[in-house]
Amino acid sequence: MSAATPAAVVPTPAPAPVDAPKYKKVTTKKGDKERKLKKGDTVYVNYTGTLPDGKVFDTNMNKKKVSPLRFKVGTGRVIKGWDEALLTMHVGEKARLTIEAEWAYGKKGTPDGKIPPNTDLTFEIEVVSAD
């Protein structure tokens, strides 16, 4: 009798986590390491959003008087890519975010047509302050 050969073990890749980040962040200026943002903080940010072709679709930086955008982070008041990325940032930090469509405006785009369906977006963001 011959010994049975064991079945070959084929490694299977681990499934990606359901909520794997759908953004990439490149820090362009480090912030205050003492003041990391947390869910529920009221944040004040300056930003410029661009489409893949480089066209600016929204910014608060080209006005005579810059007024930072104010909202509670991590509460769904902005696109998911912003909420998630900002929770990794510190006050004073600047970053370039590239957000996949799924965590931006998804299959629908924006009602005004400025952002087409299934469009990845890039944002230059500065966390000015937080309460």
Annotated catalytic, 44? no
Does the annotation mark 32 as catalytic? no
Q: CA 77 from chain center: how many Å?
A: 13
Q: Give the whole-angstrom CA distance, residue 131 versus residue 121.
A: 27
Could you confirm whether 79 is annotated as catalytic? yes
Catalytic-role residue among 44, 58, 71, 120: 58
118, 124, 128, 131: CA torsion to nearest 10: 20
Token pair belonging to 125: 């963001």
Q: Which of 23, 83, 99, 123 is catalytic?
A: 123
**71 counts as catalytic:** no
Structure tokens at 55: 């066209």
Kindly report the number of other CB atoms within 10 A of residue 32's CB atom: 13
Q: List the catalytic residue out of 79, 99, 115, 125.
A: 79
Name the nearest CA neighbour of 117 among 130, 104, 108. 108
Q: 110: which 2 tokens?
A: 């924006």
Q: From the candidates 23, 105, 115, 125, give the one annotated as an active-site residue.
A: 105
23 labelled catalytic: no
Kindly list the catalytic residues.
47, 57-58, 79, 105, 123
